[in-house]
Amino acid sequence: MNEIVISARNLNKHYHVGGGLGRSGQVVRAVDGVSLDIYERETFALVGESGCGKTTLGRIMLRLQEPTSGEVVYRGQDLTTLNDNKMRGLRKNLQIVFQDPYASLNPRMRIEQILAEPLRTHGYGTTAEIRERCATLLEMVGLRRQYLRSYPHQFSGGQRQRIGIARALANNPDFAVCDEAVPALDVSIQAQVLNLLRDLQDQLNLTYFFITHDLSVVRQFADRVGVMFLGRLVEVGTTEEIFAAPLHPYTMFLISAVPRADPHQRERERPILTGEIPSPMDMPSGCRFHTRCPFAQKICRVEDPALQYCGTRAVACHFPLES
């Protein structure tokens, strides 16, 4: 494998909710003891359902949010201990592409201003050089340079997402978090943007941390996959391994729940998860999944299984499925 770009070490993010006026309130563990390594030039997909903490984890990796405890190590440096100034300097290498192409561009700035800002922040060069770089960036994501003077509202969702990508790549980063970067787009546009992301990865040696709930995209786009459930990383593996033989029952249900675009498969045996996701404020004891898991046994109710690595794979389950 390649060199590690960034790793999370025992990251926790706990929120206090309720409380006040003498009441103690409750603790929500949005991210709970997550550790993982991401290697150079790979696409690591983090999947999970809403509220599982995947977005929070992505923000913490870029230190857009502060963890409650734990370390984020980027090329040997612990980001969580850096002061604001040093962190700002590093931000040119660590980037993010946002989910909502409508909310992620300032409606009152022209495309040129949007693209120039990160360049100016990190002292890219003279005004003329910055202008030229903006034009290059725009062409790199497949838009014409004439649009530099336009405003975001003049573009479609797919085009805005391209502009968001151009902004993220302005300073040649080597690590980019893509937070639900394509699900908001139409299918035909989605494929265009994914192709673009992959081309750029090849050209610029990018590493992607790809946060999504869409497993079909993961299957086609990712090298490795991590599955999150209620703040915990429950399974890690290469894309082929995960889809061919999921070890965690939750992963299995997640994959089987994806509708297949083939009417002949509609009669297939398809296990459907029943019940509701437990409230993060009222976490079940033991394994968090045991309330919905058909394979749960006594120990699952008592002991929280740890994520255990075995080669490229890791699973947090007392009774992993047979592969």
Residues in 98-127 at the binding interface with other proteins, rule: CB under 8 A: 98-100, 103-109, 113, 117-118, 121-122
User: Which of 75, 106, 96, 65 is closest to 170 using CA atoms?
Assistant: 96
| CA gap 298, 43 in Å, rounded | 37
Regarding 82 and contact with other proteins (CB under 8 A), the answer is no
Regarding 133 and contact with other proteins (CB under 8 A), the answer is no
Cα→Cα distances 259→216, 229, 266, Å:
9, 21, 9
Selected from 203, 297, 308, 323, the binder of other proteins by CB under 8 A is: 203
Stretch that binds other proteins, among 9-17, 31-39, 220-228, 298-306 (CB under 8 A): 220-228
Q: Indicate the residue among 35 and 238 with the shorter CB distance to other proteins.
A: 238
Regarding 10 and contact with other proteins (CB under 8 A), the answer is no
Stretch that binds other proteins, among 11-19, 68-76, 197-205, 307-315 (CB under 8 A): 197-205
| CA gap 298, 274 in Å, rounded | 20
Alpha helices in 91-186 (DSSP H): 111-121, 127-140, 157-169
Selected from 192, 201, 245, 284, the binder of other proteins by CB under 8 A is: 192
Regarding 88 and contact with other proteins (CB under 8 A), the answer is yes
User: Which of 46, 12, 65 is closest to 181 using CA atoms?
Assistant: 46
Selected from 31, 36, 60, 170, the binder of other proteins by CB under 8 A is: 170
Backbone phi and psi for residue 173, each to the nearest 5 degrees, phi listed first: -70, 170
| CA gap 210, 42 in Å, rounded | 10
Shortest separation between residue 178's beta carbon and other proteins, angstroms = 12
Regarding 150 and contact with other proteins (CB under 8 A), the answer is yes
| CA gap 57, 13 in Å, rounded | 8
Regarding 254 and contact with other proteins (CB under 8 A), the answer is yes
Q: How big is the site for other proteins, counted in residues (CB under 8 A)?
A: 99
